[in-house]
Amino acid sequence: MLPALPDIMLEPLVRAGLLEDLGRGGDLTTSAVLKGTERVRVTLRCREKGVLAGLDLARLSFHLMDPSLLFERLKVEGAPLEPGDVVAVVEGSARSILTGERVGLNFLSHLSGIATATAQIVASMAGTKARLCCTRKTLPGLRAVQKYAVRAGGGISHRMGLDDAILIKDNHIALVGSVQEAVARARKAAGHMVKIEVEVDTPEQLQEVLAGEPVDAVLLDNMPVPMLRTCVEMIKGRLLTEASGGITPLTAAAIAGTGVDLLSVGWLTHSVKALDFGLDFEKTL
């Protein structure tokens, strides 16, 4: 089972979302329409096939509004979902539930969308050694939970931030003048726990990497499948290989079949489609 992120990491995100939604005057509609004494039982229900992620943020969206609300989780993170599946039950003040609903559903839908897309690509790569990873192309402030959702879908994370590892990209090489010079400078500056990866666009650039100072991994960027296969054969298992650029559920299988170790996909976190959830009234308590 996927280890949950601690509430101390999640609460600031949910609190900020609630404060944004409440604005300056609070929930005008609910305050005007309800007496404030109504108590209800509602369900959080998935409306399409997918994979669950983000239920703890939904829980916090209700509990930050009203700690007395009862929240019963019915599904674990990473669980497959079918249309109509109930993932949680909430009981208590109708006013509190309706006010916290949208923020909770927003997090739940977005993160489950990421987990669902991740799981689809992972399934398409079955039978290969390749693993799927996400990138730093995350929405500002949401990196930790978006990368968590990728893990819920069966993927792994690339760098969490710029301080995780050294990744020498094309612009670094252009500014320095050569692959070998960039690697030499990186090797001199890197601590013993810091890995070095180099981005290459062609087999000729890869040959420069292989001929120079040792690195840990190579990013094969925007290469067609035949070129990827050529590069993997040149490396002969000496470096970790990562393919990136234009990877979709339709292309992932062929790319994974070249023998690369990793497929990195930015759109998993920056533009994935949300999974549809709703809050359904069950009964008055």
Provide φ and ψ at 180, rounded to 5°.
-65, -40
The yes-or-no answer on residue 45 being catalytic is no
Torsion of CA 22, 145, 108, 42, to 10 degrees: -70
Report the candidate in 199, 85, 76 with the shortest Cα–Cα distance to residue 135: 199
Active-site pick, 85, 101, 197, 221: 221
Q: How far apart are CA 257 and CA 228, in angstroms?
A: 10
Q: How far apart are CA 41 and CA 43, in angstroms?
A: 7
The yes-or-no answer on residue 15 being catalytic is no
Active-site pick, 102, 185, 187, 229: 102
Burial class (CB in 10 A: 0-12, 13-18, 19+), 208: middle
Active-site pick, 47, 137, 185, 195: 137
The yes-or-no answer on residue 85 being catalytic is no
The yes-or-no answer on residue 213 being catalytic is no
Active-site pick, 169, 181, 213, 233: 169
Reduced to 3 states (helix: H, G, I; strand: E, B; else coil), residue 250 is coil
Active-site pick, 56, 199, 242, 261: 199
The yes-or-no answer on residue 35 being catalytic is no
Q: Which residues participate in catalysis according to the annotation?
A: 102, 137, 169, 199, 221
